């Protein structure tokens, strides 16, 4: 989708807040712990290239979800290590080799497929993924990992790391977390040899299970300044949300009582009412269920009335404001705050999804 910079709707990204958040996590961990910044999905909507450039000196490497995201970073001149967390089909690995991109190997079937396709793994850097209970990708037994280690050694690939991923690190109950941890440890104990880098920590694990960090962390949401548990667990230290979303009033009118607003004419004014229009809609990731939520205008909370359209929303204003008046959809406006977490609660989802859905149509502006 083409970005629309000639429209007042814009995402501001505070890169210093991201630097601050990484520093906050790093200060809480053993100094030798390596830091991988997770910048998949366009850095959770913040802009992968700008974020990666800003923090490259602060981290040991980056994680992305697929090869194209890795190539985008290499093309932008990012030099540090990049690990693709998802599974790549074997025929794509030449590009990974060419651009020095590290891959995740998650099954013996994959190694077998690569063998049958005659694919040369020489010099390929890999991390092995262990499925300790997430049930998505990864080896489930030490025996399978040992076979993979032997095959990869034989094919002259470089096994740099081994990792797992927790399903419940953001929850109050530790039970399933401990089950996964003990399975991962059992597998590590059963290995013929253990790769140098061992990592299990996403944001939630780094925040609330610090004793479980092996020797590297993969930090996603926390670097963008949000709480991975939503509002369930308290943050152990301060974080600064890096993203705000703003627009402007492009139309303001006074409707008399009984007038309709929006598709379906589902909203009717019950008295004289000031209605403002803001150029953002579900095509920007401002989904239809935002009807009934609010935006901030001049420090006032203004309800979104009528249906959310593809490109516009309508809000009820306490008075007539001039065209061009600033509207805050995520962030702070005269002491009042709307967080991505509050939006997620309204939608019955998680703050991750709120950020990732903000579409490329909204330009990103960097402070
Ligand atoms: C996305 C992802 C992360 C980062 O998760 P956060 O909760 O954002 O910190 C870490 N590891 C893996 C395997 C992931 O897919």
Measured in angstroms, how far is the CA atom of residue 134 from the centroid of ligand 1?
A: 12
Segment 198-207 mean pLDDT: 97
Q: What is the pTM of this model?
A: 0.97
Coil, helix or strand at residue 10: strand
Structure token digits, residue 360? 């490329």
Rounded alpha-carbon distances, angstroms, from residue 155 to 19, 84, 115, 122, 160: 39, 20, 10, 6, 14
Active site residues: 40, 263
Question: By CB neighbour count within 10 A (0-12 exposed, 13-18 middle, 19+ buried), where does 367 fall?
Answer: exposed
Tokens of 163: 């990792």
**Ligand 1 centroid to residue 367 C-alpha, Å:** 25
d(CA 250, CA 261): 16
Distance 269 CA to ligand 1 centre (A): 45
Which tokens in the block code for residue 17? 């807040």
User: How many residues are given for the chain?
Assistant: 367
Phi, psi of 122, deg, nearest 5:
-55, 125
Residue 192 confidence (pLDDT) above 90 = yes
- 60 Cβ contact list (under 8 Å, min separation 6): 34, 35, 36, 80, 81, 216
Task: Report the nearest atom of ligand 1 relative to the CA of 169.
Answer: 7
pLDDT tens across 83-113, in order?
999 999 999 999 999 999 999 999 999 999 9
In the three-class reduction of DSSP (H, G, I as helix; E, B as strand; rest coil), residue 170 is classed as: coil
CB-based contacts of 344: which residues, under 8 Å, 6+ apart? 230, 350, 351, 353, 354
CA distance 302 to 56: 40
> Hey, how many other C-beta atoms are within 10 angstroms of the C-beta on 195?
19
DSSP state letter for 139? B
- Pick the closest to residue 171 from 213, 141, 133, 209 (CA basis): 209
> What is the predicted pLDDT for the residue at 347?
97
* Mean pLDDT over the full length of the chain: 97
pLDDT of residue 367: 87
* Contact call for residues 102 and 145 (beta carbons, < 8 A): no
Q: What tens digit of pLDDT does each residue of 255-289 get?
A: 999 999 999 999 999 999 999 999 999 999 999 99
How would you class 185 by CB atoms within 10 Å of its CB: exposed for 0-12, middle for 13-18, buried for 19 or more?
Answer: middle
- In this prediction, residue 211 has a pLDDT band, given cuts at 50, 70 and 90, of confident
Whole-angstrom CA distances from 158 to 155, 187, 246 are 9, 20, 46
Separation in Å, CA 263 to CA 122, 251, 267, 306: 59, 17, 9, 7
What is the pLDDT at residue 1? 83
Higher pLDDT, 1 or 174: 174
Q: Which atom of ligand 1 is nearest to the CA of 352?
A: 8
Residues 6+ apart with CB under 8 A from 157: 121, 122, 123, 124, 125, 126
Ligand 1 first shell, C-beta below 6 A: 38, 40, 85, 165, 202-204, 218-222, 228
């Amino acid at each position: 989708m083409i970005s629309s910079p000639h429209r007042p709707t814009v995402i501001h990204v505070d890169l210093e807040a991201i630097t601050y958040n990484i520093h906050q996590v790093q200060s809480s961990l053993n100094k030798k712990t390596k830091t991988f910044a997770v910048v998949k999905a366009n850095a959770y909507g913040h802009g992968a290239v700008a974020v990666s450039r800003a923090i490259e000196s602060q981290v040991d490497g980056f994680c992305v979800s697929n090869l194209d995201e890795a190539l985008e970073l290499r093309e932008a001149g990012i030099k540090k290590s990049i690990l693709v967390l998802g599974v790549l089909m074997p025929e794509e690995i030449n590009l990974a080799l060419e651009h020095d991109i590290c891959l995740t190997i998650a099954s013996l079937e994959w190694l077998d497929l690569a063998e049958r396709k005659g694919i040369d793994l020489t010099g390929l850097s890999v991390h092995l993924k262990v499925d300790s209970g997430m049930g998505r990708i990864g080896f489930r037994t030490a025996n399978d990992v040992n076979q993979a280690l032997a095959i990869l050694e034989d094919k002259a690939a470089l096994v740099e790391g081994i990792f797992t991923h927790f399903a419940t690190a953001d929850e109050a109950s530790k039970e399933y977390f401990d089950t996964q941890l003990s399975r991962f440890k059992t597998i590590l104990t059963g290995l013929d040899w253990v790769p140098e880098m061992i990592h299990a920590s996403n944001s939630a694990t780094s925040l609330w299970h610090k004793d479980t960090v092996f020797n590297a962390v993969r930090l996603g949401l926390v670097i963008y300044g949000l709480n991975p548990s939503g509002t369930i667990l308290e943050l152990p230290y301060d974080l600064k949300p890096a993203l705000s979303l703003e627009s402007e009033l492009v139309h303001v009118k006074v409707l008399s009582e009984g007038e309709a607003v929006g598709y379906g004419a589902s909203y009717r004014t019950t008295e004289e009412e000031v209605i403002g229009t803001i150029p953002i809609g579900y095509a920007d990731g401002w989904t239809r269920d935002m009807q009934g939520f609010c935006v901030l205008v001049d420090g006032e909370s203004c309800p979104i009335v009528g249906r959310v359209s593809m490109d516009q929303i309508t809000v009820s204003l306490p008075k007539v404001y001039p065209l061009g008046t600033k509207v805050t959809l995520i962030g702070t406006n005269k002491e009042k705050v709307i967080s991505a977490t509050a939006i997620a609660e309204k939608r019955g989802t998680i703050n991750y999804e709120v950020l990732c859905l903000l579409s490329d149509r909204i330009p990103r502006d960097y402070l």
